[in-house]
Amino acid sequence: MNTPLPDVPEVRVVGLPQLTQGFDLVERLDLQMHLKVHGPLEPMTGERLAQLTEEISLRGRGGAGFPFGQKLRAVAKSAISRGVRPVIVVNGSEGEPACRKDTVLLNRAPHLILDGALLAAEAVGARTLVVAVTRNSTEISMRAALAERGLSDRRGQRMRARVVRTPERMVSGEASSVIRAINGGPALPPGRRVRASDSGVGGAPTLLSNAETFAQVAVAARIGARRYSNTGTGQEPGTVMLTISGAVLRPMVVEVPTGVPLRYVLQMAGAPPVPQGVLTGGYHGNWIDSAAVQDAVVSRESLSAVGGSLGAGAILPIGPETCPLGEALRVANWLAAETAGQCGPCKLGLPAAAGGLADVMNGGGPAALEALREVTQAVKGRGACKHPDGSARFFASTLSAFTDDLAAHVFYGGCGRETTGVLPLPLPGYQESEESIPSGEKVLIDWTLCQGHGLCADIIPELIRINPDGYPSVADAVVPVHLQGRAQRAVRRCPALAMRIEQTAVPTSLARPGLPVSRRRELGSGRG
């Protein structure tokens, strides 16, 4: 039976803790406890910080694995050439149901993440910090952490910081989706390739990396490159955070040095001694078989060498009692439902691929298998974002990893095993949360009345910003349901009565079936 992972599962550590230091003392390290455990952190120049991250070969821990130092240099170069201050974004939008490592850090060690983000901000001269999160628990924790440091988004502060909520969806965690959401638009990929280091939040050069990456920066800055590199392998020093779930007795998040055998980590979580297969890197990752598990160690290089991937750090074994194609079909249907609906390969190709896998399992024979291979190949490299490519990788890996089971379904009508549902997926209806529902309303401003008081931007910064000229800039986006109340409050409190809310059409790709669109409401006068 499918059991979604809790926000904060059990946390274990192999060896000495770095990111999870202090977890044995308290459930959450507030600022005072954080400083007791980790000590103060001295600022450093941009060049020194870039050198440090290059010395430890630090790569982003969100899945793409881009070198952090290279990203830092690109943002600094763009900011200098354009003469504008860059923006720092912590991507804590963990929308994949098999991942909880960033959620654990955001909930239990929020100040370690902020340390790394503020260190990077000081190094490149940024004066704006945004933390993007997907869950109630992470939003509460990060808002509390900002308050403990006296940080807010109020004008006049040397550093303006805020938390932005994004929907709990696979596509919402992509960098371009996060930036689009921060800019006031929907949390969906824009369909065009623009480097955040050139133009991100508000059009400014933006340094965006995931929560664990900034926490790693904070650890390395405190202990130095030499001591940091004493842990892990020479090519990939330090520790990594992994989420272990699937067919295990104890789903957990574990901090482990690179180089530790993968089979040891699986044994900690109570995985089958000889798993039928292990999905590495999450639902955009790759399957490896039990023989590869015996050879692999925890590192990007080692997992890649045996056909796996580290990705976002999700490791999911399945036992011999379940049908692997049935497990893959459950994930395939979920991936198809996660489409942003913005391009054919995603909107049409992924459902077709999921349907093709179902046809194979239901006795479609060699013709169904060939059709599945064709549609999977057609999806690759043609999407407006990375979701189709990652999903196609999962399909292709499934077909190559379970050849015996595939043959049993193609030639004999099945493998004789039921699908037990060990891979975690959200419960039905999870997408009906208000954070992802467009209300069908827009905020509009009458510029003949607006006097630039700025109260609206303080009340609803997710949709309204203050331009350099002192007047508000309103995002051309539908108001999400969870922001309706604040949008109405901003309208009522406008001293110049310049704001109103009007009904607008909800794009079909954003609408949720079965959920009513709000009734027409106009607050043209601004009166309550």
Q: Are residues 442 and 409 in the same domain?
A: no
Task: Please check whether residue 271 is in contact with residue 247, taking contact to mean a CB–CB distance below 8 angstroms.
Answer: yes
pLDDT of residue 465: 67
Q: Which residues contact 391 (CB under 8 A, 6 or more apart)?
A: 283, 284, 332, 335, 336, 350, 353, 379
**pLDDT above 90 as % of the chain:** 64
What's the rounded Cα separation, in Å, for the pair 40 and 115?
A: 9
Q: Are residues 402 and 466 in the same domain?
A: no
Q: Which of 419, 452, 475 is the last residue of a domain?
A: 419
State the average pLDDT over residues 90-114: 96
Domain count, the chain: 3
Q: Are residues 68 and 216 in the same domain?
A: yes
What's the rounded Cα separation, in Å, for the pair 214 and 130?
A: 13
Q: Are residues 49 and 145 in the same domain?
A: yes
Specify if 111 maps to a domain.
yes
Higher pLDDT, 489 or 508: 489
- Model confidence at 475, pLDDT cuts 50, 70, 90, reads low
- Residue 340: pLDDT over 80: no
Amino acid letter at 19?
Answer: L
- Residue 518: pLDDT over 80: no
Amino acid letter at 468?
Answer: P
pLDDT of residue 112: 98
- Model confidence at 350, pLDDT cuts 50, 70, 90, reads confident
Q: Are residues 25 and 148 in the same domain?
A: yes
Helix (H, G, I), strand (E, B) or coil at 153: coil
Select from 154, 175, 203, 31 the least CA-distant residue to 92: 175
- Assign residue 410 the CATH number of its domain: 1.20.1440.230
Give the up-direction half-sphere exposure of residue 113: CA atoms within 13 A in the CB hemisphere.
35
State the average pLDDT over residues 282-291: 94
What is the four-CA torsion angle of 420, 425, 428, 432, rounded to 10 degrees? 180
- Residue 456: pLDDT over 90: no
- Assign residue 475 the CATH number of its domain: 3.30.70.20
- Assign residue 71 the CATH number of its domain: 3.40.50.11540
State the average pLDDT over residues 475-493: 76
pLDDT of residue 467: 66
Select from 335, 361, 334 the least CA-distant residue to 417: 361
Weakest-pLDDT range from 161-175, 185-199, 268-282: 185-199
State the average pLDDT over residues 438-442: 69
Specify if 118 maps to a domain.
yes
pLDDT tens-digit readout, 43-70: 999 999 999 999 999 999 987 789 999 9
Q: Are residues 153 and 219 in the same domain?
A: yes
Q: How far is CA 498 from each of CA 104, 221, 484, rounded to the nearest angstrom?
A: 43, 48, 18
Specify if 511 maps to a domain.
no
pLDDT of residue 427: 75
- Residue 487: pLDDT over 90: no
Specify if 427 maps to a domain.
no
Q: Are residues 385 and 335 in the same domain?
A: yes
- Residue 75: pLDDT over 60: yes
> 243 forms bridges with which residues in the sheet?
253, 314
- Model confidence at 141, pLDDT cuts 50, 70, 90, reads very high
- Residue 435: pLDDT over 90: no
- Residue 525: pLDDT over 80: no
pLDDT tens-digit readout, 407-428: 999 998 889 999 999 999 987 6
- Model confidence at 183, pLDDT cuts 50, 70, 90, reads very high
Amino acid letter at 336?
Answer: A
Q: Are residues 105 and 183 in the same domain?
A: yes
Nearest-10 crossing angle of helices 101-108, 136-148: 40
Supply the DSSP symbol for 352: H
Specify if 15 maps to a domain.
yes
Q: Are residues 403 and 460 in the same domain?
A: no
Select from 176, 184, 146 the least CA-distant residue to 163: 146
Residue 474 CB burial class (10 angstroms; 0-12, 13-18, ≥19): middle
pLDDT of residue 352: 86
State the average pLDDT over residues 318-323: 95
pLDDT tens-digit readout, 16-39: 999 999 999 999 999 999 999 999
> 287 forms bridges with which residues in the sheet?
279
pLDDT of residue 188: 85
What's the rounded Cα separation, in Å, for the pair 492 and 29?
A: 39
Q: Which of 179, 206, 226 is the last residue of a domain?
A: 226
Select from 471, 483, 481, 480 the least CA-distant residue to 446: 471
36: number of Cβ within 10 Å: 11
pLDDT of residue 351: 86
- Residue 462: pLDDT over 80: no
What's the rounded Cα separation, in Å, for the pair 298 and 289?
A: 15
pLDDT of residue 62: 83
Q: How far is CA 214 from each of CA 21, 46, 206, 496, rounded to the nearest angstrom?
A: 15, 15, 14, 42
Q: How far is CA 40 from each of CA 17, 62, 274, 445, rounded to the nearest angstrom?
A: 18, 26, 46, 45
pLDDT tens-digit readout, 118-136: 999 999 999 999 999 999 9
State the average pLDDT over residues 181-205: 89
Specify if 515 maps to a domain.
no
- Model confidence at 214, pLDDT cuts 50, 70, 90, reads very high
What's the rounded Cα separation, in Å, for the pair 439 and 260?
A: 49
Select from 211, 209, 13 the least CA-distant residue to 104: 211
State the average pLDDT over residues 333-340: 85
Q: Which of 391, 419, 447 is the last residue of a domain?
A: 419
- Residue 514: pLDDT over 50: no
Token pair recorded at residue 84: 């504008």
Specify if 254 maps to a domain.
no
State the average pLDDT over residues 237-251: 97
475: number of Cβ within 10 Å: 20
pLDDT of residue 381: 77
Average pLDDT, rounded, for the chain? 88
Length of the chain: 528
Q: Which residues contact 47 (CB under 8 A, 6 or more apart)?
A: none
Domain holding 45, by residue range, is: 10-226
Q: How far is CA 497 from each of CA 444, 447, 452, 490, 501, rounded to the nearest angstrom?
A: 11, 11, 12, 10, 12
Higher pLDDT, 103 or 477: 103
Higher pLDDT, 485 or 139: 139
Task: Please check whether residue 454 is in contact with residue 35, taking contact to mean a CB–CB distance below 8 angstroms.
Answer: no
Token pair recorded at residue 400: 């190559």
Weakest-pLDDT range from 184-193, 299-308, 491-500: 184-193
Nearest-10 crossing angle of helices 211-229, 46-55: 70
Q: What is the DSSP string of 250-311?
A: S-EEEEEETTSBHHHHHHHTT--SS-SEEEESSTTSEEE-HHHHHH-BSSHHHHHHTT---T
Q: Are residues 192 and 94 in the same domain?
A: yes
Q: Strand 499-503 relative to strand 441-445: parallel, antiparallel, unpaired? A: antiparallel
Angle at 86 between CA 85 and CA 90, to 5 degrees: 145
- Residue 83: pLDDT over 70: yes
Specify if 258 maps to a domain.
no
Task: Please check whether residue 280 is in contact with residue 308, taking contact to mean a CB–CB distance below 8 angstroms.
Answer: yes
Task: Please check whether residue 285 is in contact with residue 314, taking contact to mean a CB–CB distance below 8 angstroms.
Answer: yes
Q: Are residues 76 and 141 in the same domain?
A: yes
Name the phi and psi angles at 367, rounded to 5: -65, -40
Q: Are residues 351 and 474 in the same domain?
A: no
CB burial of 76-94 (b: ≥16 within 10 Å; e: otherwise) equals: bebbeeeeeebbbbbbbbb
pLDDT of residue 504: 66
pLDDT of residue 480: 65
Give the up-direction half-sphere exposure of residue 506: CA atoms within 13 A in the CB hemisphere.
21
- Model confidence at 512, pLDDT cuts 50, 70, 90, reads very low
Task: Please check whether residue 286 is in contact with residue 215, taking contact to mean a CB–CB distance below 8 angstroms.
Answer: no
